[in-house]
Amino acid sequence: MRAIRLHDFGPATNLVLDELPDLIPGPGQVRVAVEASGVHLLDTALRRGEAGPMPLPELPTVPGREVAGVVDQVGGGVDDSWRGERVVAHLGMVPGGYAEQAVTDVGTLFRVPEALSLPEAVAAVGTGRTALGVVELEPPAADDVVFVPSAAGGMGWLLVQAARRAGATVVAAARGAARTGRVRELDADLVVDYGTPEWPERVRDQVGGLSLVWDGVGGAVGRAALELVRPGGRFMMFGRSSGEATPLDEDELAGRGITAGWLLGQRMGALPGGIPGLAARSLELAGRGWWRPLVTTYPLADAATAHADLEGRRALGKVVLV
């Protein structure tokens, strides 16, 4: 099989296409003929040798933990009815997704709804499970004014749709004309370009302030959004794609009557069914059109380009290798 391997930590160009032996599923496992592999921002940090939520892998390694495809072999004790099924899975702590084959426990599999492509299924299970956790932990109401930064990214794209489903007023933000142009397809009430200095004033003028911020960006964008939150509002964080957390102060929050919190980790894991439950619910929602992922695909052999585009904020939505 062909697979992308990382032999040395470093730049995206260190990702190379190798030929490896075919995989054999063990007891309780299946082999998936992979047709779509998710690329996560965390993958780029691990590739650079930066440990975080995941430990650094032993080298050489095949990166990636999100796969979709067709079951083509089953191991001992696995019902043969799985053979030929379109499935999607998160491989957990064990990487190996950037390849033409993946082996995983049968319990990790989700059947892909007919209405979804395999790249969309990867986005629904990978990015979608986290987006749904954000929504379930801090749900929007019809009278909310919701701010979604990085709305052209994989999570932001889904969060805008979720807020609109709730009937909220939605302010969607992205950087640059290409990204804001794409975000306008979602029919948000207001789309702003946070690459321009006047965007906070546009928000004040047109919606008068925010009642809920889902902040996955942090840094200067997160801080500007925090300053737009009105008394009684909620500022909920789940990431810092800018590289910095949003600066905030407890005294300021108390004085302005703002609630702030962090949504990832144990809070999200404690939701019904845990993280697998979120993945299943996100996939079901995508299958019936409640929300639809935005996906940018790259050939497997172009994994280095996919990493570089993700790091350079050039890719739209969820990045998937096919």
How confident is the model at residue 60, as a pLDDT?
Answer: 97
The Cα 245–Cα 242 span in angstroms is 8
The Cα 321–Cα 67 span in angstroms is 9
Instruction: Report H helices in 208-322.
Output: 219-227, 250-256, 266-269, 274-287, 303-311
- Preceding amide of 272 cis, omega within 30: no
Own/partner pairs, 150-153, CB within 8 angstroms, 24+ separation: 150/174, 150/216, 150/217, 150/241, 151/179, 151/183, 151/186, 151/188, 151/191, 152/179, 152/180, 152/182, 152/183, 152/294, 152/316, 152/317, 153/216, 153/241, 153/316, 153/317
How confident is the model at residue 242, as a pLDDT?
Answer: 86
Amino acid (1-letter code) at residue 279: A
How confident is the model at residue 53, as a pLDDT?
Answer: 76
Residue 63 and residue 99 in contact, taking contact as beta carbons nearer than 8 Å: no
How confident is the model at residue 136, as a pLDDT?
Answer: 98
∠ CA 124-223-170, rounded to 5°:
50
Instruction: Give the model confidence (pLDDT) of 230-252 as tens digits.
Output: 999 999 999 988 889 999 989 99
How confident is the model at residue 241, as a pLDDT?
Answer: 87
Tell me the domain boundaries of the chain. Answer: 2-127+274-321, 139-262
Claim: this prediction has a pTM higher than 0.85:
yes
Architecture (CATH level 2) of domain 139-262:
3-Layer(aba) Sandwich (3.40)
How confident is the model at residue 208, as a pLDDT?
Answer: 93
The Cα 240–Cα 238 span in angstroms is 7
Give me the sign of the Cα torsion angle 275, 281, 287, 293.
negative
The CB density around residue 170, as the number of other CB atoms within 10 Å, is 27
Instruction: State which residues of the chain have pLDDT below 50.
Output: none
What token pair was written down for 306?
Answer: 């996919």
How confident is the model at residue 237, as a pLDDT?
Answer: 96
Beta pairing partners, 110: 88
The phi, psi pair for 199, rounded to 5°, reads -60, -40
* Per-position DSSP letters for 249-261, written without gaps between them: -HHHHHHHT-EEE
What token pair was written down for 95?
Answer: 């990487």
b (16+ CB within 10 A) / e for 119-142: bbbbbbbbbbbbbbbbbbbbebee
Superfamily of domain 2-127+274-321: Medium-chain alcohol dehydrogenases, catalytic domain (3.90.180.10)
The Cα 150–Cα 159 span in angstroms is 10
The Cα 249–Cα 268 span in angstroms is 24
